[in-house]
């Protein structure tokens, strides 16, 4: 049975607990860093969504304001046209009434800021009356889209046509026109109000919008009427193939989404709304770059701060792990030193066998176990014959070598882990055999005696010319009343019997105190 040795540095499970400590430290540091990065990501993502949502709300408010302004503008113009059309439908616009109508046209234009002018054309597209004092009679407007529309459609509702340049002064205007019929319902002419495009341009500029933002007023069929920033080349262009307008055309009233422009590649947040009373749509767009400009600044600061914190944690963790590894190395060194000290304290330095201290501890343990289990315990005492003569003849160095060879023999004969070979003192050795009766002890003793002879160590001081040993055996079943000292004395008495019986033999003492009849020797 192995002899347990107390080691304060090698506690049960200690080796298993140290490995998880390193892993736990690394996992903890990694978890803290990941949590910080995760929290930063969640915070930045939440902040980004908040900024985009705020921009969507602002964009929706902007489009509602644009839609309301556009509807009010066209409604006021339509009311003016409707009142004038009703008047002329009843009284006509003969030469006698034209001066009065011209004055009325002029007053109405002056009362509405958005109006460029009011114009009346006959059924052939020729100029009849304008709000300008000096009537400019050009080639006529029979080729204009609005004139052709009313000429071919009997509807009396207002018609909004594509933006055109006024032939009066070349200014860009948005035409709003109504058809005039005679009393029989036949086409009689067209009443036109021109809305200044500059009016919408000034209105668009009243809003705070980034340089890459966009504001658009267009017909429902996709024809561009007004835009910020103003680009004359795009006026009158169809937006039907534009991804933005295609998205708008799928919505009934209003919607917003982020779309990347195919023209300049800028990602914008678009919102659009269709006017309920007129076939018009307004669109407002803010670039995502401008929307998230402040968010990018906050994100950079937050990332920098978290990066510094993570770096600090990593540096601290690196130092901590180095300390843990150093502690492991120190503990391993201490454990080795403890094991070396334990070996020194419990084993003989010359032979490597257990010393008397370990022998006494083992005896105490085996006595208790034997008493509990009622199992036999044996002890074999071994003494080298004529060892003093050997030292005197060959010297102490040869004597030490002889003791070492004797230790090898004892180790080779102790096959069980529970067997304990001990250097008892000087040239005397002992073998403790748990769970072994007297016959087993005698057999092992005889094996040791024969193995020593087989080593053929020359000993001129011995009567037979080579090294021999004498052995004494004692075995019994210990109890709580038995004494360890008596146990050793009886084995020693058996050894005394073997030495005084002629040496080079095995003697045993029975548990009754007499000499065992199974005494063996080479004579």
Is a pLDDT exceeding 60 seen at residue 76? yes
Please report, for the domain that includes residue 185, its CATH number: 3.30.450.20
Q: What is the pLDDT of residues 112-136, one digit of tens each?
A: 999 999 999 988 888 888 888 776 6
Who contacts 501 (Cβ-Cβ below 8 Å, separation ≥6)?
Answer: 507, 519, 521
Residue 7 lies in a domain: no
176 and 157 inside one domain = yes
Q: Is 20 left (phi over 0), alpha (psi -120 to 50) or beta?
A: alpha
Which tokens in the block code for residue 116?
């460029």
Q: What is the pLDDT of residues 136-186, one digit of tens each?
A: 667 788 888 899 999 899 888 999 999 988 877 778 999 999 999 888 888
Catalytic residue of the set 145, 427, 428, 446: 427
Residue 523 lies in a domain: no
Give the CA count within 13 Å in the CB-facing half-sphere of 121: 24
Give the pLDDT of residue 132. 83
H-helix or E-strand spanning residue 37 = helix 14-91
Which tokens in the block code for residue 342?
């334990």
112 and 209 inside one domain = yes
Please report, for the domain that includes residue 362, its CATH number: 3.30.70.270
- Give the integer Cα–Cα distance in Å for 1 and 418: 3
User: DSSP class of residue 139?
Assistant: S
By mean pLDDT, which of 305-309, 336-340, 356-360, 487-491 is the weakest? 336-340
Q: Which residues on adjacent β-strands are paired with residue 260?
A: 267
Q: Which domain holds residue 219?
A: 20-249+256-294
Per-residue CA distances from 75 to 178, 186, 353, 430 (Å):
13, 26, 116, 123
- Give the integer Cα–Cα distance in Å for 203 and 209: 12
For the question of whether the overall pTM of this predicted structure is more than 0.85, the answer is no
269 and 413 inside one domain = no
Least Cα distance to 88 among 183, 160, 155 occurs for 183
Query: Catalytic annotation on 512?
Result: no
Residue 521 lies in a domain: no
How many distinct structural domains can be found in the chain? 3
Is a pLDDT exceeding 60 seen at residue 8? no
38 and 73 inside one domain = yes
Residue 517 lies in a domain: no
**505-509 and 520-521 strand pairing:** antiparallel
Q: Is 271 left (phi over 0), alpha (psi -120 to 50) or beta?
A: beta
76 and 147 inside one domain = yes
Residue 35 lies in a domain: yes
Domain boundary among 309, 341, 373: 341
299 and 282 inside one domain = no
């Amino acid at each position: 049975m192995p002899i347990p040795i107390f080691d304060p540095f090698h506690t049960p499970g200690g080796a298993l607990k140290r490995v998880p400590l390193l892993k736990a430290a690394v996992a903890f540091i990694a978890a803290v860093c990941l949590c910080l990065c995760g929290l930063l990501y969640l915070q930045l993502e939440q902040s980004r969504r908040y900024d985009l949502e705020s921009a969507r709300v602002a964009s929706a408010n902007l489009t509602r304001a644009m839609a309301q302004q556009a509807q009010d503008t066209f409604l006021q113009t339509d009311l003016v046209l409707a009142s004038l059309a009703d008047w002329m439908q009843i009284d006509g616009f003969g030469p006698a009434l034209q001066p009065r109508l011209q004055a009325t046209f002029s007053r109405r234009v002056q009362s509405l800021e958005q109006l460029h002018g009011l114009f009346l054309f006959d059924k052939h597209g020729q100029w009849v009356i304008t709000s300008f004092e000096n009537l400019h009679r050009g080639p006529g407007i029979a080729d204009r889209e609005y004139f052709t529309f009313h000429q071919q459609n009997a509807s009396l509702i207002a018609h909004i046509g594509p933006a055109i340049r006024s032939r009066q002064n070349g200014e860009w205007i948005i035409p709003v026109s109504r058809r005039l019929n005679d009393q029989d319902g036949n086409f009689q002419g067209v009443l036109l109000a021109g809305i200044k495009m500059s009016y919408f341009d000034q209105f668009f500029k009243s809003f705070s919008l980034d340089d890459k933002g966009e504001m658009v007023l267009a017909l429902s069929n996709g024809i561009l009427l007004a835009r910020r920033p103003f680009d004359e080349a795009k006026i009158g262009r169809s937006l039907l193939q534009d991804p933005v307008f295609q998205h708008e055309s799928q919505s009934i009233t209003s919607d917003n989404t982020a779309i990347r422009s195919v023209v300049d590649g800028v990602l914008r947040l678009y919102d659009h709304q269709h006017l309920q009373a007129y076939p018009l749509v307004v669109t407002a767009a803010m670039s995502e770059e401008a929307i998230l400009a402040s968010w990018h600044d906050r994100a950079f600061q937050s990332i920098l701060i978290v990066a510094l914190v993570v770096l600090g944690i990593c540096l601290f963790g690196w130092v901590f792990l180095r300390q843990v590894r150093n502690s492991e190395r120190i503990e391993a060194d201490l454990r080795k030193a403890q094991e070396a000290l334990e070996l020194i304290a419990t084993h003989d330095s010359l032979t490597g066998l257990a010393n008397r201290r370990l022998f006494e501890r083992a005896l105490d343990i085996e006595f208790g176990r034997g008493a509990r289990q009622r199992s036999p315990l044996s002890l074999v005492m071994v003494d080298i014959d004529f060892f003093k003569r050997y030292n005197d003849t060959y010297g102490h160095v040869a004597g030490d070598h002889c003791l070492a060879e004797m230790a090898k023999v004892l180790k080779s004969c102790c096959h069980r882990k529970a067997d304990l070979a001990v250097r008892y003192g000087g040239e005397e050795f002992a073998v403790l055999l748990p769970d072994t009766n007297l016959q087993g002890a005698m057999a092992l003793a005889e094996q040791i005696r024969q193995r020593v002879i087989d080593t053929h160590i020359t000993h001129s001081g011995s009567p037979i010319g080579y090294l021999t040993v004498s052995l004494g055996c004692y075995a019994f079943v210990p109890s709580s009343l038995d004494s360890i000292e008596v146990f050793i004395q009886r084995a020693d008495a058996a050894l005394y019997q073997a030495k005084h019986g002629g040496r080079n033999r095995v003697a045993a003492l029975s548990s009754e105190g007499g000499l065992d009849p199974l005494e063996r020797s080479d004579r």
